[in-house]
Amino acid sequence: MSTRDLPIPGSELRGDGLVLSYGRARVVHDVSLRLSPGTVTALIGPNGSGKSTVLRALARLHRTEEGQVQIGVDSDLRDSSALSAKEFARTVAMLSQSRPHPSGIEVRDVVAYGRHPHRGRFSGSTDADRAAITRSLALAGLTDMADRAVDQLSGGELQRVWLATALAQDTGILLLDEPTNHLDLRYQIETLDLVRDLADDHGTAIGVVLHDLDHAASVADEVVLMHQGRVHAAGDPADVLTGENLSYVYGLRIETTVDPVTGRVHVQPQGRHHSRIRRLPLAASA
């Protein structure tokens, strides 16, 4: 995957004092975070900790009960609700967990949905639209599948289709909710590489929910560790991904080590059988 030719954006997205609920049940309490240009921010935490709900609130897909979501550049920030749906979609794209399952539609046509915010009411596809679709298919490793019907794809292939659709929006802010879900090892790593390329080479502000803590350590500039709807720790991966923090939040003994060469954190959960020695059978005597 290569991100050459993508536009260079510069907007940031902030959530300040977010309080979020489902019905009468409050699930997120006074959470603040900032997605900055050229930075990958990973939201991690156990199931039910509120990380996906926070991402949906940033994407205007979940009502904010208290607090504010702002978007803009430096001092020129404004409430995201002030933008029209089309204006917002030109700036922020999201790959969510819950997506429709289209049938009888080719992959290229699904990816083309990502160009809707850039089109007029009655205008057709432009050269820019076609170039963005072709580029996004290539980035997601789907060029050879462009003419296949999406209902012929595996779960992992369909995941890549929706990633390409988000990329086709050409936004400066990208929100990804478990983007490596359903992917095999190769495409997990290629997706993480793509996330880093978008941030490093094109200044994209990226917020990503991840369950794999080693993936978070490898891709993120900043980590937000959530627990029971609150931010337990936030900052540099080495400062957040400590055995003490992770053991407390996940309710499991977790040890971490730091690679002396790369400085990357490696997470080692200690299950009941972690220290078990696998004994190989003795070779039969002649």
The predicted structure's pLDDT at residue 260: 87
pLDDT of 258-283, one tens digit each? 888 888 899 999 887 766 655 556 65
Write out pLDDT tens, residues 114-136: 999 988 766 778 899 999 999 99
Nearest to 195 by CA among 226, 216, 165, 169: 216
Q: What is the pTM of this model?
A: 0.88
- Please state, in angstroms and rounded to a whole number, the distance separating the CA atoms of residues 169 and 88: 11
Q: Kindly give, in sequence order, each residue whose CB lies less than 8 Å from that of residue 161, ignoring residues fewer than 6 positions away.
A: 107, 110, 111, 140, 142, 150, 153
Strand stretches in the chain, DSSP E: 12-22, 25-35, 40-44, 66-73, 76-79, 92-95, 173-177, 205-209, 222-227, 230-235, 254-258, 265-269
Angle at 190 between CA 189 and CA 195, to 5 degrees: 95
In the chain, what are the domains? 12-99+171-269 (3.40.50.300)
Mean pLDDT in residue range 138-151: 93
Residue-level pLDDT at 5: 44
Residue 57 clears pLDDT 80, i.e. is over it: yes
What does the angle CA 257 – CA 250 – CA 28 come to, to the nearest 5 degrees?
A: 120
What is the token pair recorded at 101? 């399952």
Mean pLDDT of 175-189: 92
